[in-house]
Structure formats: C-alpha cells, structure tokens
Amino acid sequence: MGPTASGKTGLVVELFNQLPIELISVDSALVYQGMDIGTAKPDAETLRRAPHHLINLIPPTESYSAAQFRKDALGLMAEITSKGKIPVLVGGTMLYFKALQGGLAGLPEADQEVRATLDADAATMGWPAMHQRLTNIDPKTAARLQPTDAQRIQRALEVHVLSGKTMSELFDAQSSGEFPYELLKISLVPSDRSVLHQRIAQRFDLMLADGVLDEVKGLKLRYPTLHAETPSMRCVGYRQALQYLSGEDTATEFREKAIAATRQLAKRQLTWLRGMDDTTEIDCLKNDLNKEALIIINQFINH
C-alpha cells in the first residue's frame, strides 16, 4: 500500500520476478478501460512481464464499487492460493483495502472531494432536489430525513458514492466473519513529503508529454455521455482535463490544479495508512526499497 507516486508498481514487478506470487490491483482508477496515461496504469510491456488482475475491467461509463472489488478480490485470492501461489495486493485505494479485510458493514470515512462535489451540486439544484436524488437511490434513508437536512442528505449520498452501497443496505448488512488469510501489510511512505510532491509533479509533466489530453479527448469522442460527475471522471487529472478542454481553465491552471489534486489524494492516502493497524512501514525514497521489502516478505513467508 502507499500514496500515489510512491513506487508500488516498480516494487511488485521486481517481487514478481523473485517470488511465487500473482498480483491483484487495488486501484479504483485502473479498472477503467482506455484510461491509461492519466491513471499511471502499468504499460503493456510491464503487464506482459508481471500481469495484474483487476485492471481494464469496465468502460469509463460504468461504475465499480468497493463491494464488487471485495467479491472479485476474494475470488481471485482463492484461485491463486489453490495453485500454491501467494496473492499480493497492490494499490492506493485504501477504502478497497479496508473493505477487503473488514467487510462493508461499516460506513466509509468522509471524503472531502466527494463532499465538495455534492456541495457544488446542492448550490445549483438546492437541497430538496438533492433529497429527491437520495430518494431515487435510497428511499429508506430518504424517508427519515427532511428535504432541508443538508448534512444528513450529503452524508447518505457520500456513502453511496464511496461504497457503491446505500446507507440503509450497510446498516442492514450482517457481519462478514473472519478474514480467511494471514496478512503482511507493507506501506510505502516517504520520509520527505516534498520529494513525493516533486515526483507527483514530474510524473504529471510526463503524462502531459505522453498525451493525456488527447486521451481524454478520445474518451469524450468514444463515450459522449462522460461528464465531470461520472465516477471515472472524478479520478484526479481527468476532471481537471475536462475543465481545461471546456475552456474553463488555461493550460497553466490545468497543470496546477491537477498536481494540487494529486497531492491532496496522496495526503488522504497517507492519512488512511496512519490509521491502519499492524502495518510495516518502508521509506519509499530508499535506494534499497526492493531489497528491504523482499527481506521482510521472505521472513513472513518462512514464518
């Protein structure tokens, strides 16, 4: 696990060459087909050398939830272990990691980006219209809320966006039981966050050079219904690209906003990691990162 640009892919590709493992992506952006450059998806050659499960699953017009990820990941983990191999899950979507181990009976934590989006919608539509949106999604929860109860309407809609489940479904859910695997949780964290910020900026400039704007233009042509509130377009960089292509921002503003959004994503990921138990931290800026991780993993396997 680790924030964006922490070197997760490079590490697991190296591990794949040295251990009897299969890789499962834990990334809510990599599930989308055609969204390659802006998501920093491993390229075709990398995927040929070290295949990842749960990449390129759906078109960007569809949605993929934490509940679906849990179902898919547990199925793959069973298949992998039945072959005598070890599942290695790699990514930065912390809600998916939490759902996998703990189930989905609990509600997801607040997400400021999602809340800002809902607030913007409410400023345009009004909270009674947002209440109607909730009624269409989760009538059971909407029935106990007043159309002007902004805070609770927002929370119920946020839960649905983050989990793919309604609040009433989560409340009604039963305990998912024991997680059936021993876990080694490794988090890649930077000893100097400014260096991570530099990596984020450098990587985004590479995305620009590789044609991320042409990628977004192509997606809009292929899928005309895509817009800024489509779940796939909420991925960092894509919403900002849409704003730029619609003339809302200059090229400089687009770059600055996309990099700032990516830094905010990294900050949220690091906050999640700090709240996780039994996690082995490795400085992602170390030159011998791969060697240190391999030692830790071999000790875990041998134990």
Residue pLDDT, tens place only, 168-204: 887 666 445 568 899 999 999 999 999 999 999 999 9
User: Which of 145, 172, 199 is the last residue before a domain boundary?
Assistant: 172
Query: Quick one: tokens of 36?
Result: 């390659």
* Degrees to nearest 5, angle at CA 64 with 58 and 70: 115
Same domain membership, residue 36 and residue 119: no
232 near 32, Cβ under 8 Å?
yes
Residue 91: enclosing H or E segment and its boundaries? Answer: strand 86-91
Q: Locate tokens 């913007």: which residue? A: 120
Q: Are residues 183 and 35 in the same domain?
A: yes
Taking the CB of residue 145, how many other CB atoms lie within 10 A of it?
18
Same domain, 97 and 138: no
State the residue range of the domain holding 116.
112-172
Strand partners, 22: 87
Structural domain count, the chain: 2
Residue 87 in this model has a pLDDT that exceeds 80: yes
Structure tokens, 138? 């989760």
Angstrom distances, CA of residue 285 to CA of 19, 170, 195, 290: 23, 39, 8, 11
* Amino acid 175: pLDDT: 44
Per-residue pLDDT at 181: 93
Burial class of residue 55, CB neighbours in 10 A (0-12, 13-18, 19+): buried
Residue 144: the pLDDT is 79
**How many CB atoms lie under 10 A from the CB of residue 240?**
26
- Whether residue 2 lies inside any domain: the answer is no
pLDDT in tens, 11-22: 999 999 999 999
Q: Given pLDDT bands bounded at 50, 70 and 90, which one contains residue 102?
A: confident
Q: Please tell me whether residues 140 and 232 are part of one structural domain.
A: no
Write the burial class of residue 130 (CB in 10 Å: 0-12 exposed, 13-18 middle, 19+ buried): buried
Question: What confidence tens digit (pLDDT) does each residue in 134-177 have?
Answer: 999 999 889 878 898 888 899 999 999 998 889 888 766 644 55
